[in-house]
Structure 1
Amino acid sequence: MLAKWLGGVLLIGLLVYAGWNIYSVQTSPKEGTEEGMKAPDFTLDTLAGKSSSLSDYKGKKVLLNFWATWCKPCRMEMPDMQELQKEYPDIAVVAVNFTSSEKNIQAVKSFAETYQLTFPILIDKSGINGDFNVLSYPTSYILDEKGTIQHIRVGTMTKKEMKEKLDLK
C-alpha cells in the first residue's frame, strides 16, 4: 500500500516537473538578435576600464547602441542619447564602440569627452557587433526589462523616436 502511494506521488511529481519545463520553454523567448528574441549576453570592458555585461541591466529598459567615432550619423544622435539618459536615469543607455575600426582608444576617449557622455561606453575589440549582425552604424536595439529585443533601428534616432521606442512619456 505504501509503495503504491509513494509511486503515485512520484508519478505526479514527475508530471508536474515535465509540465513546468514545457511551459517555461514555450514562454521564454529564444536567444538571438531579432525582434522578440532575448538578446545574447556579452561582457566587455568600459572606457573607464571596468567590466560590464548586458545582463547587468536586467530589470531596466535598455537602448543598446552600436557606433563608431568616424560615423557622422553617430555624432548626430549621441547628444540625444545623453539627454535621454539624463532625463530618464531609470533606463540604461549602453553604447558599444566598434573599437577595432578606430585609430586608437584615445580617439574614443576624446569623443566621449567632447560630447560629455556619462553613459557606459563599451570597448568592442572582439566583434560583438558581428554577433548582433551590425552592418551599418549606428544600429540600436531596444530591450525590455527582461532583455527581449523590442525594436531594431539601423540609422540615427532622434530623442523623440528613442522615447517612443522605449515607451517613455
Structure 2
Amino acid sequence: MPIKKLPRPVRFLLWLLVFALVYFGAQQYQKRNLVSGPVPDYSAPLLQGAYFDSRDLAGKPYVLHFWASWCPICRFEQDTIQALSRDHQVISVAMQSGGREEVQNYMQEAGLNFITLLDEEGRLASRFGVRGVPTTLLINSDGEIAFREVGYTSEWGMRLRLWWMK
C-alpha cells in the first residue's frame, strides 16, 4: 500500500519515526570517537592564569564542556553552561578560539565567568575524541564519563542528567 493512501495519523507517525531514527543515528555517529569509561588525566593552562590538573577533581562530579568562540550553537548554549556553573562544577575548554586575550575578551563581552581551559590548537579536544562543538561530558564522582553529548543540550536536559548521575 502506498504511503499516500495511509491515514494521516499513521503517515505522521511514520515520518516521526523516520525523523527519530535519523536524529538518534546522527547523534550516535557524532559520539563514535568520544572517549568513554574512565576520564584520562589531563592538564592545561587556565584562562585565569594558573595551570589546571584534572587529578585535583578526583572524587568530585563535574561537567567538562568543549566549546569555541566561533561556534554559533556554543553561543546559543553559553547561558545554559553559565547557569549550570552556579550549582555544579563546570570545567570548560575553549577549543581553537585564539589566545588568552581573545578568549578573555569574548567571555567578558558575553558575561561568562566559568572556569575555562585554553586549548588553542585542539590537542586536549583530540585527546577526548572531540570532533565538533559543543561537546559536553558529565563526569561522575568515580571519575567515569557518565554521559556524552555532542551539539546543543538544554539546561533542563543537563540538569536531569546530572541528577540521574548521582
Q: TM range, normalised to the smaller chain?
A: 0.7 to 0.9
Deviations 1:4-27 (A, max 9, x none): xxxxxxxxxxxxxxxxxxxxxxxx
Output the CA distance in 2 between the equivalents of 1:54 and 1:125: 18
How many residue pairs match? The answer is 131
> % of aligned pairs identical?
27
| 2:45 maps to 1:50 | no
Larger deviation: 159-168 or 135-144? Answer: 159-168
Output the CA distance in 2 between the equivalents of 1:128 and 1:138: 14
Q: In the alignment, which of 98, 102, 120 is matched to residue 107 of structure 1?
A: 102
Task: Give the match's secondary structure for 2:76.
Answer: helix
Over aligned residue pairs, what C-alpha RMSD do you find?
A: 1.9
Task: Give the match's secondary structure for 1:55.
Answer: helix
Deviation, structure 1 residue 125: 3.5
1:112-151 alignment, distance < 5 Å? 112-125=107-120, 127-151=123-147
Q: Which has the larger radius of gyration?
A: 1
Please report the TM-score for the alignment, with normalisation by the length of structure 1: 0.71
Gaps of 5+ in 2: 1-33
Output the CA distance in 2 between the equivalents of 1:141 and 1:113: 24
Q: Quick check: 1:57–1:92 contact (8 Å CA) kept in 2? A: no
Deviations 1:73-111 (A, max 9, x none): 11111111111121x1xx31010111xx33443221112
Task: Give the match's secondary structure for 2:138.
Answer: strand
Q: Quick check: 1:33–1:133 contact (8 Å CA) kept in 2? A: yes
Gaps of 5+ in 1: 1-31
Deviation, structure 1 residue 115: 2.5
For 1:5, the equivalent position in structure 2 comes to none
Task: Give the match's secondary structure for 1:40.
Answer: coil
Question: In structure 2, what residue type is equivalent to 1:49?
Answer: G
Output the CA distance in 2 between the equivalents of 1:114 and 1:157: 23
For 2:91, the equivalent position in structure 1 comes to 94
Please report the TM-score for the alignment, with normalisation by the length of structure 2: 0.72
